[in-house]
Amino acid sequence: MTASFFDAFSPQEVARISAAGTHVTVPEGWSPIWEKTPGDKAYILLDGTVSVRRGGDEIAQLGAGDIVGEAAIVGHRLRTATVVALTPLELVHLTAEAVRELCEEMPSFRTALDEVAESRLG
């Protein structure tokens, strides 16, 4: 995904999405998401690069503006990949509850999540 996840939203919507989460810093080498675990959170990358790995093999690298962890929440399934920080990260941490609330409040958020999840699972 070359464009930012936030590109689909107005400045007010970006502020609402950001306010729904917690800003966190993650060190290089840390894995905020593990394959075959419940979808209890998602992250929007503000800065840094992650490796997305399935069965230990890298399937993608994502960076600033991307969202990770959404597919398990949207699809109500276990995670399909592990995410590893290749650099220090600045993230917006969204709980599954926050994701569900945003989907209810903002149809555009649900549409954007569905599009990202579909593109990755397809």
Q: State pTM to two decimals.
A: 0.90
Dig out the tokens for 47 from the structure.
């800065």
CB atoms near residue 90 (< 10 Å): 14
Which two tokens mark 33?
């998401």
When pLDDT is averaged across residues 107-111 and rounded to a whole number, the result is 92
**CB-based contact 42:94 (threshold 8 Å):** yes
Residue 29 has pLDDT above 70, yes or no: yes
For residue range 33-83, list pLDDT tens digits in order.
999 999 999 999 999 999 999 999 999 999 999 999 988 888 889 999 999
Strand partners, 26: 89
Domain extent at residue 53 = 5-121
Contact 22/70 with Cβ under 8 angstroms?
Answer: no
DSSP 18: H
Helix, strand or coil for residue 2?
coil
Q: CB neighbours of 104 closer than 8 A, spacing ≥ 6?
A: none
What CATH number should be reported for the domain holding residue 42? 2.60.120.10
Q: How many domains does the chain have?
A: 1
